[in-house]
Structure 1
Amino acid sequence: MNTSSIIPIGLLSKRRKRIDNKNSKVILAINGDKEAFNSLIEENMKSLYIVARGILNSEYDIEDAFQNTIVKAYEKIPYLKNQEYFKTWITRILINECNNIIRRNKKFIYMEDSQINNEIYEDKYKDLDLIKAIDSLSEDLRLTTWLFYFNDMSIEEISSLLKIAKGTVKSRLSRAREKIYNIMSEG
């Protein structure tokens, strides 16, 4: 028997309690508990920001995507079929909202107002060469890279979330790594 695959009972019970606690919050939110819904949003805020940042470049657009996502999630949570997939469900809503903003922005040209500074999360790393290299990738490569490396999602989770094959996720990650390497080598 492989002893490395044995999980101590104490850790297993703590993990089950965490999962049960999160699922009970989702059930409460489905039944209309606003505090449970707010708690779920707060728990997932950083993860959602990372996804939005991977798709959108403007902090203003990210804020819009957040607001629209929260409103839609609150309205649609009674229809969530499996509470275990809350994070995937709300992330899918966010991605759709980000794509809506991209489509909307193609129609308009915006001028940034440098006086306004009310960001949800300050992106302290936006000037790093690596982040600039990632931001220069095409949208599909950029999003997959952000989800995998910055949001710690597995290939299976990304595949399910983006509704693409696992092989496509692996291919995108490989192409993204190669392009980032070439960009970083040139600089």
Structure 2
Amino acid sequence: MTKETLGQLIIGSEETMYRIAKSLLYNDADCADAIQEAIVKAFAKLHTLKDDSYAKTWLIRIVMNECYAIMRKEKKIISLQDYQMNEQETESKDYSDLYEAIFHLPEQIKLCVTLYYMEGYSVKEVAALLDTTESAVKNRLAKARGKLKEALAD
């Protein structure tokens, strides 16, 4: 794969990368940072891509890894004042009830929902991206539907 082809893939995958990052990170600035770092790493490690047909999957996996890296970095204690300010900002944003319910799902379930329902990946592809079995993905999706139904019924 050439750098030009990778650039076209990145441009075509902007929304996908954002949705994946947003499903893991709540802050838009963190999402932007994760995507930017993923793009830089993708260009730097382009030679490690063995099969061009898996380029999009490879790119999404890099985005997910960058999100995890940001999450690890931000495991710190925040003050009560910062937390309250963050809550006020969150309340003022116009997030749908469904988005809020998805955001509060456990991380692995949230990723399955995002990849399967929002990005249109098959169960087999989601299992490959998350390095798990197809039955685990199906179980997570079933659990997500139950939790979302419960959360949205309130």
Match of residue 90 from structure 1: 59
- Residues 148, 75 of structure 1: alpha-carbon distance in 2 compared, 3 angstrom cutoff: same
Q: Which residues in structure 2 correspond to 1:109-128 (within 5 Å)?
A: 109=78, 127-128=95-96
RMSD: 2.1
Task: Say which of 16, 28, 44 aligns to 2:2.
Answer: 28
SS state of the match for residue 164, structure 1?
coil
SS state of the match for residue 9, structure 2?
helix
Match of residue 167 from structure 1: 135
Match of residue 7 from structure 2: 38
Larger helix proportion, structure 1 or 2?
A: 2
- Greater relative contact order: 1 or 2 (C-alpha under 8 angstroms, separation 6 or more)? 2
CA positional deviation for 1:109: 3.6
Higher radius of gyration, 1 or 2: 1
Uncovered stretches (5+) of structure 2, i.e. residues with no partner: 87-92
Normalised by the size of structure 2, how large is the TM-score?
0.87
Number of aligned pairs? 145
CA positional deviation for 1:126: 5.4
1:104 to 2:104 alignment: no
Normalised by the size of structure 1, how large is the TM-score?
0.72
CA positional deviation for 1:41: 0.8
Q: Please tell me the residue identity of whatever aligns with 2:60.
A: T
The superposition leaves residues 50-95 of structure 1 with CA deviations (integer Å, 9 ceiling, x where unpaired) of: 1111111110110110111001000000121000000000111111
Uncovered stretches (5+) of structure 1, i.e. residues with no partner: 1-26, 30-34, 115-124
